[in-house]
């Protein structure tokens, strides 16, 4: 598999640290609010990455954290007159409502920053001992310029990074040795949550949390670190600096970053009143069209959200569901026999080729829709049982890797409608087409649409 590696700025052949195993760290949400559709893109994209590796036979250790101590949580707690843990618990719960709605699987581990304070303090102590960090005024800062490779992920010269350093919400500008230095430990302010430390009461900075959690659950060097494009600098750049200075080895071999989401061709922002939470969109369109939309483009490309595009996603999903229902219906009436058609392996290989090319889900979907066309063709030609079973299996495998077609429900008809369908079938056998047409019209008025197929009568709701 080839992965576009932000570190090397090219597609690199993926070679795991341990044969047959993959260690992935994905930056998770800061749990102070509902997740928005921008947050949902990495959730869905890297869920697909994990599913694909597992489908290909890898053992995947997938870690995704919760940032449950941060200025944003403190501000939310103060505004609502509750505690920071209460804010975190509430929005972790809301996260799971949306994540499960999007069919995002639970990670191997979902660590919380507040459960890793000892590990955080251990790294900070190591960095101070090695001269990469210094304590001042109750805070601890990292000497960015001491790390010789600082900037290797964002590929920016130090002077450009220094110019942007003031945009980081670190505070302490008057006590830092250098503007580029970033905070590892924040001294406690009145009324804020805190932990005891060798540098006084305080709490961890944002960047150090992920270094500690990745190290604890995946080891000093991991295979893949992923997240949104906006995290490259400063967050991921700082993770590298901290982890590699403390441990003396590479932090991650591959860095994957997904592109931004625009709304109606404008950057999503609250000030433009075009800021949508996943819950907002799901209430109108359901969760699955959101997932489809988020994986329908190559993950590094910017994508544009609009009502029309979500409607297109719904229509595409309808084609997938119709195909799967047609397979089930055909299987109920299929004759024994048949064979695995050649197109099954062809479509699987097309799907694999797309996914091996830097997780190209757009081309992978194209392979699935070609499979749908093939399946519809063999059903129309009266395929036998073994053929249909092979079609069903491959359809389920490929859509399952993308996490789609997960809301299938078996719907039953009431006895009156079943009796009418049976009566119409008998009328057609007796060539009483007038009665058959009258029953069809009556069923249509009742919201039941009939379709005569080579495998029998198929019904659907209008």
pLDDT number for residue 20: 98
SS3 content of the chain, % helix, strand, coil (to 5): 50, 15, 30
User: Are 305 and 264 contacting, i.e. CB atoms less than 8 angstroms apart?
Assistant: yes
pLDDT at position 130 is 98
Q: What is the DSSP string of 151-189?
A: TTTTT--HHHHHHHGGGSTT--TTT-SSTT-EEEEEEPP
- The pLDDT, as a whole number, for residue 164 is 54
**pTM, 2 dp:** 0.89
pLDDT at 45: 98
- Counts of helices then strands in the chain (DSSP H, E): 15, 15
Residue 166 confidence (pLDDT): 43
Task: Give the pLDDT of residue 43.
Answer: 98
H/E element holding 271? none
Give the position of tokens 């719960």: 93
The predicted pLDDT at position 163 comes to 56
Query: How does pLDDT run across 315-334, given as a tens digit for each residue?
Result: 999 999 999 999 999 998 89
Residues in the chain where the model's pLDDT stays below 50? 166-169
CA distance 188 to 195: 9
How many other C-beta atoms can be found within 10 angstroms of the C-beta atom of residue 268? Answer: 17
What does the pLDDT read at residue 173?
Answer: 67
Q: Which residues pair with 10 in a beta bridge?
A: 5
Position 278 scores a pLDDT of 97
Please, which contacts does 395-399 make with residues 24 or more away whose CB atoms are closer than 8 Å? Answer: 395/323, 395/324, 395/327, 395/368, 395/371, 396/324, 397/55, 397/348, 398/347, 398/348, 398/351, 398/364, 398/367, 398/368, 398/371, 399/320, 399/324, 399/368
For residue 165 the two structure tokens come to 């350093």
């Amino acid at each position: 598999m080839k992965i576009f590696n932000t570190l090397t700025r090219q597609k690199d052949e993926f070679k795991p640290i341990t044969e047959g195993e993959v260690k992935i760290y994905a930056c998770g949400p800061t749990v102070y609010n509902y997740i928005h559709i921008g947050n949902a893109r990495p959730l869905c994209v890297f869920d697909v990455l994990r599913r694909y590796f597992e489908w290909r036979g890898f053992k995947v250790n997938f870690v995704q954290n919760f940032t449950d101590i941060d200025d944003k949580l403190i501000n939310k707690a103060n505004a609502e007159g509750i505690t920071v843990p209460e804010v975190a618990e509430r929005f972790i719960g809301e996260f799971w409502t949306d994540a499960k709605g999007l069919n995002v699987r639970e990670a191997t581990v979902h660590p919380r920053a507040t459960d890793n304070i000892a590990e955080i303090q251990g790294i900070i102590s190591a960095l101070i001992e090695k001269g990469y960090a210094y304590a001042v005024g109750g805070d601890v800062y990292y000497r960015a310029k001491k790390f010789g490779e600082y900037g290797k992920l964002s590929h920016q010269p130090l002077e450009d990074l220094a110019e942007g350093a003031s945009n980081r919400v670190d505070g302490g500008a008057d006590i830092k040795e250098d503007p580029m230095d970033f905070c590892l430990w924040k001294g406690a302010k009145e009324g804020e949550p805190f932990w005891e430390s060798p540098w006084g009461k305080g709490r961890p900075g944002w960047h150090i949390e992920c270094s500690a959690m990745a190290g604890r659950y995946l080891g000093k060097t991991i295979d893949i670190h992923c997240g949104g494009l906006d995290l490259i600098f400063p967050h991921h750049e700082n993770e590298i600096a901290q982890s590699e200075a403390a441990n003396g080895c590479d932090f991650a071999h591959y860095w994957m970053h997904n592109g931004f989401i625009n709304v109606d061709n404008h950057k999503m922002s609250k000030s433009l009143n075009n800021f949508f939470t996943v819950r907002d969109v799901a209430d109108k369109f359901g969760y699955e069209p959101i997932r489809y939309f988020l994986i329908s483009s190559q993950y590094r490309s910017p994508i544009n959200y609009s009502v029309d595009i979500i409607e297109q996603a719904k229509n595409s999903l309808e084609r997938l569901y119709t195909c799967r229902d047609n397979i089930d219906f055909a299987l109920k009436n299929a004759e024994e026999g048949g064979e695995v058609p050649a197109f099954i392996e062809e479509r699987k290989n097309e799907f694999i080729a797309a996914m091996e090319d830097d997780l190209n889900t757009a081309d992978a979907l194209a392979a699935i829709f070609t499979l749908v066309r093939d399946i519809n063709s063999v059903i129309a030609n009266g395929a036998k049982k073994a053929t249909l079973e092979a079609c069903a299996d491959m359809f389920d495998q490929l859509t399952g890797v993308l996490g789609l077609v997960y809301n299938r429900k078996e719907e039953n008809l009431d006895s009156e409608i079943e009796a009418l369908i049976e009566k119409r079938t008998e009328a057609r056998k007796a060539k009483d087409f007038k009665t058959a047409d009258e029953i069809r019209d009556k069923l249509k008025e009742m919201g039941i649409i009939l379709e005569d197929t080579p495998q029998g009568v198929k019904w659907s709701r209008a």
